[in-house]
Structure 1
Amino acid sequence: MLESVKKEWKKLLIILAVYSVWWIAVLFSLISLQGIDATIKQFGSVLHLYSEVIHSIVKGTLVYYILIFKLAIPLIRTGKRKKILMQYLLLILFITFYEYIWDFKTGDPSSAAKANISLGAFFVYALGLDLIMAVISIFIATWIESNDALKREEELEKQKLNAELSAIKYQINPHFLFNSLSFIYTKTVRTNPEAAHAVHLLSEIMSYALEEWEDLGRVPLPLEISHMKKVIEMNQIRFNNKLNIDYKENIEQGGILVLNNTYVPTLVFITLVENAFKHGDLNDEKNKVTVKLQVAGDNIRFSVSNKKKKSPKEPSNGIGLTNVQKRLQLMYGSKHSFIIQEDQDHYLTEININLNKL
């Protein structure tokens, strides 16, 4: 949340800096063309000159921020033209009427707008300038979004290359591995069905993890959920079904269609579950490891909560959760949130995906 606020403030400050430089350049141009006395006289007084410049800078900064980041970029990303264009129109009308009140109702008798411009001419002039601002904001937003999209694709490509390098670095020949698991399964299926089933699960989980998925590691959500359940089952078998794990799945009407049409980066759900297995207390019946999947409308929520182990923590560098956060950001941007909450005894990770969010 704090990081998101910092990003928004950074955008606002960049616009403020650029717009301030532009207005200072305009002011110096006026002074150089007609002299400082004429410029002051045009605005009525030095105080009115300063107040007009500061007001214009603050107003322009806020307007361009809204036009670019709250309207133009969502328009480009979502294509919801009617809704956003209506918001554009309402904002432009609001700005025009605000400028009318500022120029005609502020009580400044030396206002150039009052002295030299009729009311009708003012509205045409102001509305025209506001429309130009809207067009400029769309061009800027298109440039920003093109650069961001290029950076996201480059980052995804880098992550894919890093994943491929890690697979090469850490895996034994996968054919040898899967052939060995198949041999063990065949030898144990009659004498020890549970062990054979565990080997089969392990083989499927590892095959999923090592698969070279197309589209930069994106997989259908049902596939990720299916293998996440296999990870839970595999761990239960390891510990003779004594682990206190509660898996809850709530998919509302129409949710199946949403699930089947949603993609996620591979292993993101599995990473959260494995994190709970690694650091959670799996023996407390009153504080079970709770895994929840909820699908309502266009909203997908996946959370894992656990009580922390009292024994010494296993070594961890936090790369897994950081990787999840980065990959979700690259894929979903503002349409998702990744939450980590913890206190002295409990730990929660939660992924929220809002497919309909601007």
Structure 2
Amino acid sequence: MIEFIKKQWKQILIILLVYTAWSLAVFLFLIRLQGLETTLKQFGTGSKLYINFIHTIIKGTVIYYITIYHLAIPLITTRKWKKIGLQTILFFGVLTVYEYVWNFNIQDPGPKDPSYVSPSTFLITAGLLDIVIILIAFFFATIITSNDMRKRKEELEKEKLKAELSAIKYQINPHFLFNSLSFIYTKTLKTSPEAAHAVHLLSEIMNYALDDWDELGTVPLALEIDHMKKVIEMNQIRFNHILKVKYYENIETDDAYVSYVPTLAFVSLVENAFKHGELNDEKNQVTIELEVTKSKIYFLVSNKKKKGPKEPSKGIGLSNIRQRLDLMYGIKHSFTIKEDENYYLNEITINL
């Protein structure tokens, strides 16, 4: 519970402050509208007044926190109407029962004044108030979600700019490089078709890496998969087709296949496996798995670690992939890295 409050304290504090200010304003408005005596008759006097007020503040804060952050925002981001609709009905059903018990059995367990609200009137009023709460929560959830999306877009643009600057820093006249590769391809096509094909693959991979994609630095999933396969093929040619690689692909729908993903996200993970993995162990092959459905993209790369001296790595690639996935998909994705003394695994799940 303490850890939960630590993580969510900002959202809870904001709702608490806003709801406290709103409750005070309503209380003062009622005093002005109907007088102090009538208002105190409704809310109680002495310690009862303080208990009721504190109870109202805490209850309202909890209700709006759950409705905004655990019902409305997940519904807007995931569009799971059935699941979240049932959760909403259950939550407000429990809330109505609690309100009924509090008002009729805890607050005033004895005989009721004739002017006191009846149970049927209470239930109708509670239902209408629940609808109002849901509408207010959705209003704020929409604002919060739009603001988060705007911030993510800004961050993605910043990350794209950093990537472009990094590419500029390390590239040596791309036109000269591609013209040179084209010349080598032409010269080797007749004498060594496989070498020519390798040069062609390398040219396409580098062109893909340096190309100017959309403003968010994303590409269609189909394009990323295509170049990932080229990286696999390029490495097999490089090592005379002796690499032990197990590739599994299951794509159920064309709709998800055209979903957008961060450029080089899958390609970089595959390249890391070839760079740091043991590539000649038949029993511990480099494993690459891709599953695509209407609702999910699942990608896994695992490998046995190479023994001996390791190639230098700054770890920038994984951090960059994590940041871009987080900015692009937020809570709709997970990026898991599992590692021990002998094995390494990357796992990406994206909920569409």
Work out whether residues 220 and 257 of structure 2, in 8 Å CA contact, stay in contact via their aligned partners in 1. Answer: yes
Per mean C-alpha deviation after superposition, the further-off stretch among 133-142 and 71-80 is: 71-80
CA distance in 2, matches of 1:53, 1:328: 44
CA distance, structure 1, for counterparts of residue 86 and residue 289 of structure 2: 39
Displacement after TM superposition at 1:163 (Å)? 2.1
Higher alpha-carbon deviation: 105-114 or 129-138: 105-114
8 A contact 2:256–2:293 mirrored in 1:
no
Map Cα deviations across residues 307-339 of structure 1 (whole Å, 9 max, x no partner). 112223332222111111111122222221111
- Size of the aligned set, in residue pairs, is 347
Query: Aligned partners of 1:206, 1:22: CA distance in 2, in Å?
Result: 58
The answer to whether the 8 A contact 2:273-2:302 is kept is yes
Are positions 1:293 and 2:290 aligned together? yes
Partners of 1:303 and 1:291 in 2: CA distance: 6
Q: Which moved more, 1:279-288 or 1:71-80?
A: 71-80
Give the counterpart letter for 2:101 in structure 1. I
- Contact residue 256 and residue 294 of structure 2 kept, 8 A: no
| Structure 2 equivalent of residue 205 of structure 1 | 205
What code does the residue aligned with 1:198 have? A
Q: Corresponding residue for 1:341? A: 338
The equivalent residue for 1:304 is 301
- Structure 1 residues 15-72: Cα deviation after superposition (integer angstroms, max 9, x where no partner): 34654666688889999x969xx969954763x5555445434432332122112332
Q: Which amino acid aligns with 2:177?
A: L
Q: Would you say the 8 A contact 1:93–1:127 is kept in 2?
A: no
Distance 1:290 1:60, change over 3 A: same
**Which of 253, 270, 273 is equivalent to 1:273?**
270
State the distance in 2 between where 1:64 and 1:125 align.
18
Structure 2-normalised TM-score? 0.84
Paired residue for 1:191? 191
Shift of residue 263, structure 1, vs aligned partner: 1.3
- Aligned partner of 1:318 among 303, 315, 318: 315
Q: Summarize the Cα distance change of 1:59–1:208 in structure 2 as closer, same or farther, 3 Å threshold.
A: same
Q: 1:146 to 1:256 in 2, by over 3 A?
A: closer
Inter-CA distance 342–187: structure 2 relative to 1 (3 Å threshold)? same
Give the C-alpha shift of residue 265 in structure 1.
1.1
Query: Percent identity at matched positions?
Result: 60
CA contact (8 A) 1:279 1:313 kept: yes
With 150-159 and 200-209 compared, the bigger mean Cα shift is at 150-159
Unmatched 5+ stretches in structure 2:
none
RMSD, aligned CA: 3.4
Provide the C-alpha distance between the structure 1 equivalents of 2:178 and 2:328, rounded to a whole number of angstroms: 31
Which amino acid is 1:133 matched to?
I
One-letter amino acid matched to 2:138: I
User: Which residue in 2 is equivalent to 1:227?
Assistant: 227
Matches for 1:1-358 after TM superposition, within 5 Å: 7=7, 11-12=11-12, 14-16=14-16, 18-19=18-19, 43=44, 46=47, 48=48, 51-77=51-77, 88=88, 91-106=91-106, 108-109=108-109, 116-251=116-251, 255-355=252-352
Structure 1: state its 5+ residue gaps. none
Question: 1:223: Cα distance to partner?
Answer: 1.0
CA contact under 8 A between 1:113 and 1:122: conserved in structure 2? no
Distance 1:67 1:103 in 2: 22
Secondary structure at the aligned position of 1:219 is classed as strand
Letter in structure 2 aligned against 1:141: A
State the 1:129 CA deviation. Answer: 3.3
CA gap of 1:243–1:297, structure 2 versus 1, over 3 A, is same
Using the alignment, how far apart are the partners of 2:119 and 2:76 within structure 1?
35
Instruction: Report the secondary structure of 2:282's partner residue.
Output: coil
